[in-house]
Every structure is written in structure tokens, then in C-alpha cells.
Amino acid sequence: MVEKRILVISGRDFSTKKKHIEEFKKILSLHYPSLALVNLFSQDVSLFQLQKEMENISFSKRLFIFRNSEKLSPEIKDYLKKIIGEKRLRDFLIFDFDLDSSQRERIKRDRFFSFLFRISPPFKTGGGLKDYTFSDLRLALVRGSPLQALEIIDYFFKKGRKERISLQILGLMVKVFVDSAPSSLKSRNLKYIFEIERLIKEGKISFQLALELLVFKLLLKQRA
């Protein structure tokens, strides 16, 4: 699904946002070593410039980051909505909003932003440290919120034994992505989980990196 290529992150905590964006880039780069980064400041980019960037044929995957996304022009919002709606998106997009919670609620009245938040619920920063539970992780996985899922997994690894936590998270992923998945996706998702489980048991990869890769495969990676 095209929306799995889109991440929305919101908040005023620059260092936390930077950490999560860097983590997402790291995970993408493991699968796309030639990943190209396109950093755009929303108040400065023109429709012509964006069309030229996005419609230019590229043999490598690209990650577009729209800084201060709340300042996108009406023309660009219409263009992006058309590309996303028509499922013509070939690359990955991050929309970075510099907004607090009250400002975020106000911009939901905008047609493009309400559309964007519906298909990719915003990952919010600046709320302070939370005591996450497995219910929070399950909700992040069901909603398709990879940054939230990675944040919760990182929290679990800092709080408990790595091996025990890893097996518990794998069990949760089986329930979400196999037991509750459409029949057409069950075997593919189970294959991904078995691959990661094998890497963990063979000691070829760290527990946390293995689960980060699995989040990527299950929530972000699309069929070619």
C-alpha cells in the first residue's frame, strides 16, 4: 500500500525528531544502500522544483523529508495528494511538522493534512518518557506506525532481558501479522518472521536490530 511509504512526525522537540528520522533512514539504508536523501524546506520549495525532483527517473530509492510541513503551499498539497491518491508514489516521504498539540488539531481542518493524518497517524514527540506496554506496541503495529513501534521496542530493550523481550515481541507480531492478517499476506509475513527468528537464534544479528528490520519488512516494505 502506498501509505506505508509515508511517515508523519510532529512536535517541537528537535533532538527527538532528529533521532527518530535518523533511525528510519538507517533502517531504509539497510535495504536500499544507495538511498538518496532529498531535504526540502516547505516554505521555500516551489511546485516546479518539487515536480522536477519527484518525477525525475531515479534508479535508487529516495527519501523526501518535508521540513515544516505545515507551511506547504496549496499547490504543492494538491500535487502531493494527487500522487498519493493515485498510488503513483515510488519513493519514501517524511512529513515533519513543527507544531504543538493544539496547533496540530487546528490544521486538521485543512483537506490535505486531514487526508495525510488519516492514512499515516502522526508520531508525536515531546510528550516525555512514557511507560509503554505491549498493548501500546500492538496498537502501533496495527495502525502501521513504524516510528512509534521502534520507539516502544527501544524502551523494552532498555527495561528488560533482551532474549525474553525479543521472543515476546515476535509472538506479538505473529498474532498481528499472521493470525489477524488477510489470507493473501499470512504466508509472506510468516516467512519474514521466521527469517528474523533464525538470524536471532544463530547469533548473526543483534536482537534489537533484528526486530527493527522486521518492523521495516512488515510495515514499510512494499511489493516491487
Q: Is 98 helix (H, G, I), strand (E, B) or coil?
A: coil
Q: Say which residue the cell 522544483 belongs to.
A: 49
Alpha-carbon span 120 to 122, nearest angstrom: 6
Looking at the fold, whether 186 and 78 belong to one and the same domain comes out as no
For residue 172, what are the domain limits? 134-220
Looking at the fold, whether 7 and 118 belong to one and the same domain comes out as yes
Query: What is the model's pLDDT at position 172?
Result: 92
Query: Are the beta carbons of 98 and 16 closer than 8 angstroms?
Result: no
Q: What is the mean pLDDT of residues 88-104?
A: 82
Of 77, 106, 124, the position where a domain reaches its end is 124
Give how many domains the chain has, as a whole number: 2
Q: Say which residue the cell 515533519 belongs to.
A: 96
Looking at the fold, whether 108 and 36 belong to one and the same domain comes out as yes
Alpha-carbon span 30 to 56, nearest angstrom: 24
Query: Are the beta carbons of 70 and 103 closer than 8 angstroms?
Result: yes
Query: Are the beta carbons of 84 and 119 closer than 8 angstroms?
Result: yes
Amino acid at 104: R
Of 124, 147, 168, the position where a domain reaches its end is 124
Query: What is the model's pLDDT at position 72?
Result: 95
Query: What is the model's pLDDT at position 126?
Result: 54
Query: What is the model's pLDDT at position 15?
Result: 80
Domain-located, residue 129: no
Query: What is the model's pLDDT at position 2?
Result: 47
Looking at the fold, whether 117 and 150 belong to one and the same domain comes out as no
pTM assigned to the model: 0.66
The number of residues in the chain equals 224
Looking at the fold, whether 108 and 20 belong to one and the same domain comes out as yes
Alpha-carbon span 69 to 53, nearest angstrom: 17
Looking at the fold, whether 138 and 180 belong to one and the same domain comes out as yes
CATH of the domain at 27: 3.40.50.300
Of 65, 89, 124, the position where a domain reaches its end is 124
Q: What is the mean pLDDT of residues 67-75?
A: 94
Query: Are the beta carbons of 11 and 122 closer than 8 angstroms?
Result: no
Looking at the fold, whether 82 and 190 belong to one and the same domain comes out as no
Looking at the fold, whether 18 and 117 belong to one and the same domain comes out as yes
Alpha-carbon span 190 to 186, nearest angstrom: 6
**Residue 122, CA distances (Å) to 144, 162, 207 in order:** 11, 28, 27
Residues 6+ apart with CB under 8 A from 138: 172, 175, 176
Q: What is the mean pLDDT of the chain?
A: 83
What would the pLDDT profile of 4-31 be if each residue is shown by its tens digit? 688 888 887 788 788 778 877 877 787 7
Looking at the fold, whether 114 and 6 belong to one and the same domain comes out as yes
Looking at the fold, whether 87 and 178 belong to one and the same domain comes out as no
